[in-house]
Structure 1
Amino acid sequence: MKKIVSVAVSAALALSLAACSSKEKASSDKESSKDPVTISFASWTLGTEKEQNLERLMIKAFEEKNPDIKVKIDESISTSDWNGTLSAAASGGKMPDVFALPQIPLALSNNWLMDITKMTEKDKDFAKISKAVRDSATYNGKVYAVPYAQHFLGYFVNKDLFNDANLDYPEYGPSLQEFTDAVKKVTNINKGIAGLNNPFSISDWYPAAANKDMGWYTYKDGQYSLDSKEFIKGVNLAKEFATNGYTYETLTDEQKANFKGENPEEVWLQGGVAVKWDGTWAAPQDASFDWDFIGIPGGRTVVTNDFVGISKSSKHPEEAYKFAKWMSFGKEGFMKRMKIADEKGKMMNTLPVSTDKDVLDEFFSIQDVPGIRTAYDNLDNAIVEPVKIIPGYVDARFEGQTGVKAGDNENATVGQLMDSFVKGDLKVEDYAKQLDQMADQKTKEAMDSLNK
């Protein structure tokens, strides 16, 4: 009897296992035949299909790594009218799943962006982005953007010009006095050597260099301090350099005749500028002189990022986030980016967004620039350049109309007024309070718009 029961149980078990196996096979067959998810991507960094630049090669590598996800490049978003065509896509219910962001606040005010906080909170790679950059993608405690690419702003130094003049060249993060002295002492217009390429960014970074409690263009915690002594000193240092022949771009045509080159970039590469303001994307890799990156006085790292957003209407947010991470801050993706660049002979087009040690060690084994490595060491006290992230900043710094006559402009913009201060046509002290009040008002209006 026991034997019969045993045989019956065995038979039943065999039938059960066969049924389960059949169901699993059917399920597996169904999954394998399921079409991959398709997400759309719009960016101004893609070049053409024929060019096959690094971004397109990264997309192909992502698809190979993730055969269940296909990426369709959305050509309907035009580089000639990015925000306009994005708006049209949103109105028509055809927003790309992932798209480049000229300005995060504009996208937020248009209700284009998905809150991706829950995805970033459980992402160990996202936690390895510097706090300053993570904060720049966060509004009212929620993450709405992915830092896509990263560069630093600051000064490059032509060390050969200083050595030839028996002068000490400035190293990363010089003091304000060391920076000022270096620019003045190396300048020799008769020999075709200018201390700086231009003076116009000094008023932006100077306050943060002079006061650790200030940021770019004095902005900190929703407020400007444009009537502060730090801001006024910065503008006046820029004016001193500009009006006394220390900066190439403000020289007379007669003075420029002493230099080699037809434009400021050529003059720099020909060895006519000792200290050049630019971003790390413009590192002079093929220069004939010895150079380094020295950041800004005081040593605070100035970060500027590109960002992408995930559409609020995306039907595949997890896949969209996975793709955005691969293309930007993810360790696996960035390692692949460096490998592709090396194998295909492509220039790396971004610094690492991540602070992961393995990523940084690999990157600097390829691009050994001591000053840029030091800038990573100083990220804990970084300043993020505000154009793409701070509500109202573009009006507060550039486009807002002041009602002040500056040169031929009866109603000068803030940018035009700032240029007039640096060129010595107007005095910053006479307008600093007005600029400060206007900047705070523009910020308040923009913040209020986001909080509606």
Structure 2
Amino acid sequence: MKKSISMLLLMVLAVSFVLAGCGSSNNTANNTATNTNTGNTTETNNTATNTTTEPAEEPAAEEPAATDEVVTITYGTWGDKADNGAEMKRIKAFEAAHPNIKVQIDKSMDWPWDEKLAAAAAANKLPDVTWLFNVPLAVGSGWLEDLTPYLEQDPDFAPDKIYGNLADTGKYNGKQFALPHGLFSWGVYINKDLFAKANIPIPSANWTVSDLEDISKKLTNFNEQQFGIDGAAGMADVLIPNIDNTLGASTWDGTQYNYTNPAWAQAVNWATNFGMKDKSSLQSYKKEQKDKWYGKDISGFNIGKVGMVFDATWSLTWYKQNLKFNWDILPVPGYDGQQQKAGLVTDYAGVTKSSKHKKEAVEFLKWMTYSKDGWLARIKDESPLASMPLVNDPTVWEAWLAQDFVTPGVKDIVKSIPTGVLETFKYQPGFADFTSKVKDKYNEKFQKGEARPEDVAAELQEKSMEYYNNAMAKITEATK
């Protein structure tokens, strides 16, 4: 077992430097607000070498140097805040390694996250360190500290130790305001027992959308209320770069959105027609019917009645602890003639500008994001830890790969990361507002047949760039 993990680890490290190409920088220091050249989501150059300089001689910021005095910082998180939950375990490990820093969870921070952050900012009560659901909003609102001076002095924030372009997604106008603290991938979980019962071989990692459709139909037995897949209606965004490899998530190509590209309409039509209408897809049935079959709000996949479900690797922990059948996960299926692209998701955190203990806050942020010791402690204390590591270190990766939920499919997910594309919602300027105020209103219309993606593509193209440019203008003003 140790040998097989070590062999896989060598593979991970061999390709891990390519992982830097998964992100997209928001560095627009040399551009106007209307210039959208922010770096390619799928095929960017590795700009990690620009994030680190030689240690400076002067302090990182104009505040008193840290002393042995015990300092308490506050922390905003939507993670598990229970006394024995992951967040408290992380805090205790950090405090043990940093006896002069105490971390207190700010329990006033909760959902809706952006609104609670705005209220805290208005009352001058922002936590020192906080998770971020919408990074551009926080940057454009002036809530976040520029981390660049701190990172430039830290030898651990170096190109050979981090995944530079993932980190660069938290950089705006050449300044680092946020860092990823979690890395996940979308995939398709499968019930291996139902596959075996139907004499269906487990697909290879390079399976296709056609394979998924065929398997879904074979798994369906209406008389037993058994269906092929759940969640397929949510797959459109991850299918776009698999249909056309020149596009990233949400049609972003590195300079602009491309909703008029036929790949977007094809992906949406597939998610609508197969995900919401094919009788092998559980989403084609009304909630009342599903509640009658499985119980109110009960997942058909979780109780062994659905063969596949579209979900992300953040569910690995729950599935490992709760599913009563044999399961695995497969990468997002691809299309013939195109390179298969994984759909990646990052979570972010930052230090607030109002913090009176910025050095200590940065230390805690580092522990969660790019500290080797921090990641080893998280894997040990929070196991099973679903987030994949964000440091390029063999010891860290070996520890993560040794967790008991690491199935063959999880290893295939890891292999797919270097060519993956990063979801834009949390880091791309204006995209969250564009999604909630413009794009999402069409989903129900598509499902009801009241509109076609092809007919609204030009409007979405115009509006997506309008929201992007407006958000970048705010960020440019806030980061001067």
Pairwise same-fold verdict (TM > 0.5): yes
| Mapped partners of 1:145, 1:33: distance in 2 | 25
Does structure 1 conserve the Cα–Cα contact (< 8 Å) formed by 2:259 and 2:457? yes
Alignment of 1:256-271 (within 5 A): 256=290, 259-263=293-297, 265=299, 267-271=300-304
Does structure 2 conserve the Cα–Cα contact (< 8 Å) formed by 1:125 and 1:354? no
Which of 130, 136, 144 is residue 113 of structure 1 equivalent to? 144
Aligned twin of 1:43: 77
Aligned twin of 2:329: 293
Q: Does 1:357 align with 2:394?
A: yes
Q: Secondary structure at the match of 1:268?
A: coil
| Mapped partners of 2:115, 2:456: distance in 1 | 35
Does structure 1 conserve the Cα–Cα contact (< 8 Å) formed by 2:79 and 2:86? no
Which of 46, 67, 70 is residue 99 of structure 2 equivalent to? 67
| Mapped partners of 1:32, 1:198: distance in 2 | 49
Does structure 1 conserve the Cα–Cα contact (< 8 Å) formed by 2:231 and 2:311? no
Q: Secondary structure at the match of 1:154?
A: strand
| Mapped partners of 1:356, 1:264: distance in 2 | 40
Q: Secondary structure at the match of 2:232?
A: coil
Residues 155-177 of structure 1: CA distance to partner in whole angstroms, max 9, x if unpaired?
A: 11222222222223333342233
Aligned twin of 1:408: none
TM-score, length of structure 2 as denominator length:
0.76
| Mapped partners of 1:257, 1:308: distance in 2 | 38
| Mapped partners of 1:131, 1:160: distance in 2 | 40
Which of 402, 422, 428 is residue 390 of structure 1 equivalent to? 428
Aligned twin of 1:442: 467
Aligned twin of 2:315: 282
| Mapped partners of 1:196, 1:187: distance in 2 | 9
Alignment of 1:105-144 (within 5 A): 105-121=136-152, 122-124=154-156, 127=159, 128-144=161-177
Does structure 2 conserve the Cα–Cα contact (< 8 Å) formed by 1:39 and 1:316? yes
| Mapped partners of 1:138, 1:443: distance in 2 | 15
Does structure 2 conserve the Cα–Cα contact (< 8 Å) formed by 1:78 and 1:85? yes
Alignment of 1:55-204 (within 5 A): 55-75=87-107, 77-121=108-152, 122-124=154-156, 127=159, 128-204=161-237
Amino acid at match of 2:180: P
Cα distance change, pair 440–260 in 1 and its aligned pair in 2 (3 A): same
Q: Does 1:332 align with 2:373?
A: yes
Cα distance change, pair 254–377 in 1 and its aligned pair in 2 (3 A): closer
Q: Does 1:226 align with 2:259?
A: yes
Cα distance change, pair 85–290 in 1 and its aligned pair in 2 (3 A): closer
Query: Could you say which structure has the greater relative contact order, defined with CA pairs below 8 angstroms and 6 or more residues apart?
Result: 2
Larger mean Cα displacement after TM superposition, 88-97 or 281-290: 88-97
Alignment of 1:230-241 (within 5 A): 230-241=263-274
Q: Secondary structure at the match of 1:239?
A: helix
Does structure 1 conserve the Cα–Cα contact (< 8 Å) formed by 2:291 and 2:297? no
Aligned twin of 1:243: 277
| Mapped partners of 2:67, 2:253: distance in 1 | 54
Residues 22-81 of structure 1: CA distance to partner in whole angstroms, max 9, x if unpaired?
A: xxxxxxxxx999522332222222524xx2312112212222211222223334x43145
Aligned twin of 2:410: 372
Which of 290, 294, 314 is residue 355 of structure 2 equivalent to? 314
Does structure 1 conserve the Cα–Cα contact (< 8 Å) formed by 2:74 and 2:128? yes
| Mapped partners of 1:155, 1:295: distance in 2 | 6
Q: CA deviation at 1:132?
A: 4.4
| Mapped partners of 2:432, 2:368: distance in 1 | 27
Amino acid at match of 1:291: W
Cα distance change, pair 252–86 in 1 and its aligned pair in 2 (3 A): closer
| Mapped partners of 2:416, 2:66: distance in 1 | 48
Q: CA deviation at 1:111?
A: 0.7
Residues 301-333 of structure 1: CA distance to partner in whole angstroms, max 9, x if unpaired?
A: 322222111122334333222111213332111
| Mapped partners of 1:430, 1:94: distance in 2 | 46
Q: CA deviation at 1:361?
A: 1.3
| Mapped partners of 2:353, 2:412: distance in 1 | 38
Larger Rg, first or second structure (1 or 2): 1
Aligned twin of 2:22: none
Residues 378-423 of structure 1: CA distance to partner in whole angstroms, max 9, x if unpaired?
A: 32222112221111112322322xxxxxxxxxxxxx2131232134
Aligned twin of 1:15: none
| Mapped partners of 2:217, 2:163: distance in 1 | 35
Residues 69-115 of structure 1: CA distance to partner in whole angstroms, max 9, x if unpaired?
A: 2223334x431454344334434544322112121001111111112
Q: Does 1:348 align with 2:385?
A: yes
Give 5+ residue unaligned stretches, structure 2: 1-64, 335-339
Amino acid at match of 2:258: S
Does structure 1 conserve the Cα–Cα contact (< 8 Å) formed by 2:134 and 2:432? no
| Mapped partners of 2:248, 2:298: distance in 1 | 28
Cα distance change, pair 168–436 in 1 and its aligned pair in 2 (3 A): farther
TM-score, length of structure 1 as denominator length:
0.80
Does structure 2 conserve the Cα–Cα contact (< 8 Å) formed by 1:130 and 1:379? no
| Mapped partners of 1:260, 1:90: distance in 2 | 44
Q: CA deviation at 1:214?
A: 0.9
Aligned length: 401
From the two aligned structures, give the one with the greater helix fraction. 1
Q: CA deviation at 1:222?
A: 4.3
Does structure 2 conserve the Cα–Cα contact (< 8 Å) formed by 1:236 and 1:422? no
Amino acid at match of 2:465: D
Amino acid at match of 1:300: K
Aligned twin of 2:26: none
